[in-house]
Structures are given as structure tokens and as C-alpha cells.
């Protein structure tokens, strides 16, 4: 049975392994047929759906003050820019999550650490975030062998958006699924409920970014859903096999 979509995170089991702040997030989403992306998901997971459709997310944002659960931010990891492309998954235990097709960051040490430690598909990129009032512009150019891709995304953030079932489905995700060493793992997280804002797409210049993960056909049409958030603090727990259901929180 698939777990319900909840705006509040399930309590995170110990040990906690990482903390970070997600800031100035733009959420761009395209609705797609589940069969068109099912082959991208790791074994033991299938596309999660909302009213018969699943979604592809493109999310540029600022990552701030990454560190261990206690103590100062880690200097070589702490603050950087990221743009990820993600899918929505559910595993055999009914636990919902996300699957990242790519995570582009402008700090090479982050890319190396995340690929080595968690098997996540991070890539190095040259990136910039500019803010003028409620206008946010994110630019990116991959610096990755064998792949050329650039993007410029402009978002005008608006008034507070009262989230409905679709907004919760797209943003209230309490972990990620990742394939590594022939197995599928689940890495849980928790954070306060999202405060979302309406958003208008003012610039969308995408040259090869979606195509670099096999979804180039989406660049020919505007996103089906847009939102913005000023951000949340987040914590991660330790990974476990996706075949094991979510257990009770520790003390």
C-alpha cells in the first residue's frame, strides 16, 4: 500500500548524517506518461503518479551551510548552487521518493563527494544566481566530459500559494531512491512544511540540459506547473535498502 502524501515529514530515524539549507528554489514541472520515464528508475521502484500522470521536475536553487548534524558548516561543501532534474518514485514498500537523473553543482568537491559516497549523478557546472527583488535568474553551463548543456531560467516570484494536492505531491517528498552496487537504496530526509509562492516563468533558454538526461522533447513546451519557495532547512538520515519499509523514529 502506498503511503499517503503528507505536508509534514515523518520523524527521521537516527543517525542523522547531514544538514543543509535549501534556498531560493524554483520548481518547474512537466506532466508525462509514466511509461515514458519508467526505465530511468532503479530496480524495485516505479513512477509515482498523480491523477494518472507522473512528473519531471527541474529545480534550480542555492544550497547553503551544508554540514554534519552538529557543528559548523563544512568549508569545502558548505554553500553552492545546484540544478537538478528529478522523477517521482514509489518503492515496493509503498514509500514515496524522488529519483535524480542529474544534479549539477558549481563546486567540484561536492560533485566528487556525492558521487563517491552516495552514487548520486552529480555533474560539475559553471553556475550563477542573480536576484533583483522577487526576480530570480539561474544560469548554468556544464563542465562535464562528453556533455554540452546550458540553461537560463528566470522566475518572478509572486504571492503565497496555498498548496493543494498536486503541490504536496510534487514537493512533500521525504527521501530519495538511488541505485548503487546493484541494489536500490533509500535516503530519508525531513524539513518543515514548504511555504510556496506562485511563480511566473520570465526566461527559459535551455540548450541540451533536458536532452542530456534523455528528455529533450520537454524543452519544446512550457512547464505544466510552476512554484517558488524561499527555502527550508533540511536534515538527512542514514541510507537503507529500499526493500525495507520506513521504520519508527529513534529517540
Burial class (CB in 10 A: 0-12, 13-18, 19+), 220: exposed
Distance from C-alpha of 103 to C-alpha of 118, rounded to nearest angstrom:
12
Q: Which stretch of 5-19, 99-113, 236-250 has the lowest confidence by average pLDDT?
A: 236-250
What percent of the chain has a predicted confidence (pLDDT) above 90? 84
The residue with greater pLDDT, 75 or 229, is 229
Task: Name the residue among 115, 86, 106 with its Cα closest to residue 215.
Answer: 86
DSSP-assigned beta bridge partners for residue 120: none
Chain centroid offset of residue 18 CA: 16
Confidence of residue 251 (pLDDT cuts 50, 70, 90): very low
pLDDT mean over 203-227: 97
pLDDT tens digits, residue range 157-185? 999 999 999 999 999 999 999 999 889 99
Distance from C-alpha of 59 to C-alpha of 45, rounded to nearest angstrom:
22
Task: Name the residue among 173, 177, 175 with its Cα closest to residue 194.
Answer: 173
Chain centroid offset of residue 220 CA: 22
All structural domains of the chain: 21-241 (2.40.400.10)
Confidence of residue 17 (pLDDT cuts 50, 70, 90): confident
Distance from C-alpha of 62 to C-alpha of 83, rounded to nearest angstrom:
9
Contact status, residue 25 vs residue 231, Cβ threshold 8 Å: yes
SS3 call for 125: strand
Q: Which residues contact 246 (CB under 8 A, 6 or more apart)?
A: 3, 10, 93, 95, 188
Q: Which stretch of 9-23, 29-43, 150-164, 210-224 has the lowest confidence by average pLDDT?
A: 9-23
pLDDT tens digits, residue range 27-77? 999 999 999 999 999 999 999 999 999 999 999 999 998 888 777 767 667
- Tell how strand 150-161 and strand 196-207 pair up: antiparallel
Contact status, residue 96 vs residue 88, Cβ threshold 8 Å: yes
Q: Which residues contact 223 (CB under 8 A, 6 or more apart)?
A: 28, 29, 30, 58, 201, 204
Distance from C-alpha of 179 to C-alpha of 237, rounded to nearest angstrom:
17
Amino acid at each position: 500500500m502506498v503511503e499517503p502524501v503528507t505536508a509534514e515529514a515523518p520523524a527521521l530515524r537516527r543517525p542523522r548524517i547531514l544538514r543543509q539549507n535549501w534556498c531560493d528554489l524554483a520548481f518547474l514541472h512537466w506532466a508525462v506518461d509514466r511509461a515514458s520515464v519508467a526505465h530511468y528508475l532503479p530496480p524495485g521502484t516505479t513512477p509515482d503518479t498523480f491523477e494518472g500522470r507522473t512528473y519531471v521536475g527541474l529545480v534550480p536553487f542555492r544550497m547553503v551551510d551544508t554540514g554534519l548534524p552538529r557543528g559548523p558548516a563544512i568549508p569545502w561543501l558548505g554553500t553552492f548552487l545546484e540544478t537538478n532534474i528529478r522523477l517521482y518514485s514509489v518503492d515496493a514498500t509503498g514509500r514515496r521518493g524522488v529519483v535524480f537523473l542529474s544534479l549539477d553543482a558549481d563546486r567540484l568537491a561536492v560533485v566528487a563527494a556525492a558521487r563517491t559516497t552516495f552514487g548520486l549523478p552529480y555533474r560539475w557546472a559553471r553556475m550563477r544566481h542573480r536576484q533583483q527583488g522577487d526576480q530570480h535568474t539561474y544560469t548554468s553551463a556544464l563542465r562535464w566530459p562528453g556533455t554540452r548543456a546550458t540553461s537560463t531560467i528566470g522566475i518572478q516570484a509572486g504571492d503565497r500559494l496555498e498548496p493543494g494536492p498536486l503541490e504536496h505531491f510534487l514537493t512533500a517528498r521525504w527521501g530519495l531512491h538511488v541505485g548503487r552496487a546493484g541494489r536500490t537504496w533509500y535516503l530519508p530526509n525531513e524539513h518543515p512544511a514548504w511555504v510556496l509562492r506562485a511563480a511566473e516563468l520570465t526566461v527559459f533558454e535551455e540548450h541540451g540540459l533536458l536532452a542530456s538526461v534523455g528528455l529533450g522533447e520537454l524543452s519544446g513546451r512550457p512547464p505544466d506547473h510552476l512554484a517558488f519557495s524561499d527555502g527550508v532547512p533540511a536534515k538527512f538520515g542514514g541510507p537503507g535498502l529500499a526493500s525495507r519499509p520506513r521504520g519508527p523514529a529513534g529517540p
